[in-house]
Amino acid sequence: MIDSESNQIYLSDFVENPEILQELGKDEIIFGYSPMPGRSMKVSLDYVIGKFNRYLDGFTFICPEGDIVLVYRQALSTVSEVSTEANTDNEGTVHSQKNDSRLYDETVLKNLMLSAFEKKLDIHFDDNIDITYEQFPLSPLKGRIESINIYSRGSKKYLVRIEYLTEGGIRKYETAIFTAKWPVTGIKTNKLIRKDVLLSQEYLTFEEIDYFNYKEPVLSSQLSYDYVADYTISEGQFLEWSMLKKRAYVLKGQIISAVVRLTGVEVTSKVEILENAEIGQLVKAKNIDTGIIVTGILDEGPVLRVSY
């Protein structure tokens, strides 16, 4: 649970004994932004562990069950408390009367921007990420950061806009500009993959690429054989997520069991599915033995339940 007036989440918020991080001088490491007061947000447990691994070496983690950590920020208790949080002068400038001002040194600012960058791309960087700043705010920055937004400027270049409140409650902005490089293992086709064909090792090789040379490339660590080509992909292409789609529960040409109940007797036969389909859909199939076309409801298994 996060305090209602805390705009940031710290690594120490995720541990039962934050005193340990205090002794190591790691209690002020910022994890990211907290949700709005009275709101919660879901964070991947793997993402949290990745953050700890980035800053702490030689630790073993005792993790809760499940894949998600729920972060809740306490609500502001009363309307009067909200009204004293900030007021606006005649010129429209917001002044905070409860400003938890702090110093953000260069390292903290870079960590905050990196977290915002990961959130923008919905990905977790490893230590190979290379960020080169062409412009950086004067540091330490004193005040309370309200938001960090990142905008693409093309050619691996990004603009960062930092919004913060000064000690006097005046809203100000700082900017940074950086280029990014991230060597990762990409997935390359070694032969043509036709539309709706299921991914498999026979079609793929692995090579190092710069992540930012492509639009959402598929990484080797993300490879799943539950995907098919969304359109015909030529040989020698590095896979991007836009080229793929989640495979249907059953695929055209797949052989499955069909079950039909006749006067209390259940008869099973093998059929060839004539179209991609999901559970619960009405599907046409061809009986392998007789060649007769039948129609039924696709059930988990997969099983085609045919009724007459």
139: which 2 tokens? 């540091």
297: which 2 tokens? 């409801």
What domain range includes position 238?
183-246
Give the CATH number for residue 220: 3.90.1210.10
Domain boundary among 44, 77, 110: 77
The count of domains in the chain is 4
Give the pLDDT confidence score for residue 37 in this predicted structure: 63
Give the pLDDT confidence score for residue 224 in this predicted structure: 81
Residues 160 and 187 in one domain: no
Domain boundary among 77, 93, 127: 77
Q: What is the pLDDT of residues 158-200, one digit of tens each?
A: 999 999 999 888 999 999 999 999 999 999 999 999 998 888 8
Residues 143 and 223 in one domain: no
First and final C-alpha spacing in the chain: 57
Residues 193 and 233 in one domain: yes
Give the CATH number for residue 290: 2.30.30.760
Residues 173 and 200 in one domain: no
Domain boundary among 49, 77, 105: 77
Q: 3-state DSSP helix/strand/coil percent for the chain, to nearest 5? A: 20, 45, 40
Q: What is the pLDDT of residues 22-72, one digit of tens each?
A: 777 776 777 776 666 666 777 777 777 777 777 777 666 677 777 777 777
Q: Residue 117 above 90 pLDDT?
A: yes
The pTM for the full model equals 0.59
- Please state the φ and ψ torsions of residue 90, each to the nearest 5 degrees: -65, -20
Query: Pick the residue with more confidence: 33 or 287?
Result: 287
